[in-house]
A and B are shown apart, each in its own frame.
Chain A
Amino acid sequence: MRYAMAVDTKKCVGCSDCVVACQAENNVPHGYAREWVVELVEGSYPNLEMELRSERCNHCDNAPCVRCCPTGASHIVEGGIVLVEHNKCIGCGACITSCPYDARYSHPEGYVDKCTFCEHLVKEGEDPACVAVCPTKCLYFGDLDDPRSEVSKVIKNRKYKTLIPEAGTDPQIFFLT
């Protein structure tokens, strides 16, 4: 099993519903974000192109945060989800520094926090909060090892990119372009 997510940048309108849903579902403290929307404008005026991306932890296959963690608090569970065990985290900041996506932050309570792919929902067979709430249905979540899953199908049929694959992290969030 390999959980992954696809983000349709053509369908995303940048409403940030996913961000709010994540904060509500996971009790993310005020002023912090486990996920965020990036608006990228490119070109020369008036020929501009905009890309909207709902971003979060890439749940990398080759996760530098897990490698550098001195206590084993950062770990990978079934389905490739990268998690932090709060009671093992000493808050040294190594994982925050090691993430090329800057997807982690230091929680006010001291431990390091990040997107969990809503593991508590996913193991009950539900979708992560961001996916469930998206009004344009631009987020797809599922098992990459299952060719019939939504995410497998959409990656098969569409062009996609991942973020900084050259960093060698093997990210598992796919942006449909």
Chain B
Amino acid sequence: MAENEVVERQFTHNWKLYGIVLVLTIIGELIGVRSFRVGPGTALLLPMLYALVIGMFLGPRFIKIASERDMSDASPLIVLSVLILVAKLGTTIGPNIPQLIGAGPALLMQEFGNLGTLILAMPVAVLLGFKREAIGATFSNAREGALAIIGDVYGLDSPEGRGVLGVYICGTLFGAIYNGIMSGFVASLNVFHPMAIGMASGVGSASMMSAAGGAAAAALPESADLVLTFAAASNLVTSATGLYMMIFIGIPLANFYLRVLTGGRE
């Protein structure tokens, strides 16, 4: 117990670490949101991305500002600091609860479609040689909520954490562009009803939803409003149910699937 107390003091009272995070936050916010158009979509660079990337290079081997201790103290602080983000997320969902209830069963059911992520991507990740990283990389489409969950369950400095952060960074950098190209293309195949394309476009990220919904609406001009309405509604449902979907279905299923694919070795 006494020993625990010492360990706890260390990470909760690391003032230098708080100072570094304050400076990274200020730098990130001052650079601000930068967007540029690429093909049919928009690439967004956000303050959090600068803070993340600069933070990664502060260690003893590069900029030498963060010590080994600062780096290990930062890990438990992610789990606690993310709660403010989660509370804010909750307050943005609450006012939209009536629309979500009105949106109907199809909208709710297609949330299970996000598990398509896992079914398609996990075998690819395993074939490429990923092990526990595959869990974090493929259990969801790796937006902020997914970081919070993996941080909570495994820690972001675990293999699972590296997996989710890797896909998160890719998503931030070119998720909107890729979703835009793909959804415009799939919509133009006329295999799916515009309402289905709209629902599929709402993946729980505003920038990806805008790109995917916008491109699909452009590909299906006579149903543009229908596509965009369902894209927005589905995005809302995803942001409301996504957390619970990932915790109660995504992570357990990812673990099970990885065991099956690797014959129980992971």
Mutual binders A and B: no
